[in-house]
Structure 1
């Protein structure tokens, strides 16, 4: 799957973001002991966007690029409210909402079970154009749950933004497109590899194995004990 960067600005923003993530050691390559995602996919790569909250300069630059990307791709007056997905999306939603001078809410993964038993905290965005923000996405499943919760509350949701999109698992864009949701992101694993070509963050052997994964993530996942087809992920999600 291509990284879907559509302009020189997008490509520059992707490289800057990838370099920032590499500098703060948010990028993890572990081909010898693959990571397992909740969807069942096996992967030799893992990105920890939560580390961004600890690094003021990196997070300031990433949030600056995020606000600009949203404006360029969707519009500077396209939204009434920013929604963060629990939990990793909450700080990014707050920073982006501040830059865009918009109110912010957050969406729980499930109702807290006491008090108002609310799924949405802050205010109910009924009739408001809402942007869902999270730190990253692999196959888009969590975005669907959050967007469904927002729509059930009356929000108008057609866009979601993430700092990092894996950009390799089949069906990600298509699943969201069926729900009329556009996915916007700053960078992907392909951008990380591009930066690693000129900066020696990882060994050549690790990079080669990561590239094999990116070239065919379904086969790589299946060969390493993970799921090997999009329908398997969907079945696991429903279980």
Structure 2
């Protein structure tokens, strides 16, 4: 897939698959506590053979052109929704697959990392969605605490609107790679009929005034 076509192609797929939900009533509450009028359900596409093939083709292009296959020794999937995409990508690249849990298993080996690679292996972490980046803190720490090197994160969809997210990635020392962002989705939405003009305006208002919108609708105003 051509580099310039990744964002528009994935954005169109998310819209046409019904993965972008704009509420007409009660706001969604994101994992980190933000109240939002919109929710992007990337997991919807794991059931679509054609859809997931598009995403994996796009991910392959990102690895080859932005990261370099020679710089990746293993693919790690973030529990839960990142695991299928990581598995498909690892298979296409013929690389080992790891699964990173949100927390240690709690019995047996009490593992947080499933799978095995040599210490010092360079790992690419794959997840379905990144909003403010807080969930990546735990995943990245788990990988690094296991003696592995993690410098790159690949997200199917990245909000790329939260200042907190950019600061988190900088503090973690990782580069965030996304197949699509809100900029891509809104650009596609303006030329399609999937979202109404009112929906697009509602999403834009949220993205421009996230803290104010969230606080006014019962969510957090900023990260603790």
User: By the TM > 0.5 criterion, same fold?
Assistant: yes
SS of corresponding position for 1:154: coil
The yes-or-no answer on 1:70 pairing with 2:58 is no
Shift of 1:125: 4.7
In 2, distance between residues paired with 1:44 and 1:11? 29
In 1, distance between residues paired with 2:72 and 2:64? 10
Q: Size of the alignment, in residue pairs?
A: 223
In 1, distance between residues paired with 2:35 and 2:150? 31
The yes-or-no answer on 1:186 pairing with 2:175 is no
SS of corresponding position for 1:199: coil
Shift of 1:107: 0.8
Runs of 5+ consecutive residues of structure 1 not aligned to the other structure: 1-8
Preserved CA contact (<8 Å) 1:31 1:45: no
Preserved CA contact (<8 Å) 1:83 1:131: yes
In 2, distance between residues paired with 1:117 and 1:124? 18
The yes-or-no answer on 1:223 pairing with 2:216 is yes
In 2, distance between residues paired with 1:25 and 1:49? 9
In 1, distance between residues paired with 2:207 and 2:5? 21
In 1, distance between residues paired with 2:19 and 2:113? 29
Indicate the residue corresponding to 1:172 in structure 2. 165
Indicate the residue corresponding to 1:5 in structure 2. none
- TM-score, structure 2 normalization: 0.95
Match of 1:21 among 8, 14, 29: 14
Preserved CA contact (<8 Å) 1:107 1:150: yes
Cα distance 1:110–1:122, how it changes in 2: closer, same or farther (>3 A)?
same
RMSD: 1.3
In 2, distance between residues paired with 1:68 and 1:10? 7
Preserved CA contact (<8 Å) 2:96 2:117: no
SS of corresponding position for 1:171: helix
Shift of 1:38: 2.4
Shift of 1:140: 0.9
- TM-score, structure 1 normalization: 0.89
Match of 1:155 among 136, 143, 148: 148
Preserved CA contact (<8 Å) 1:10 1:186: no
Shift of 1:188: 1.2
In 1, distance between residues paired with 2:110 and 2:220? 35
Shift of 1:31: 5.1
After TM superposition, where is structure 1 displaced by more than 3 Å over at least 4 residues in a row?
Answer: none
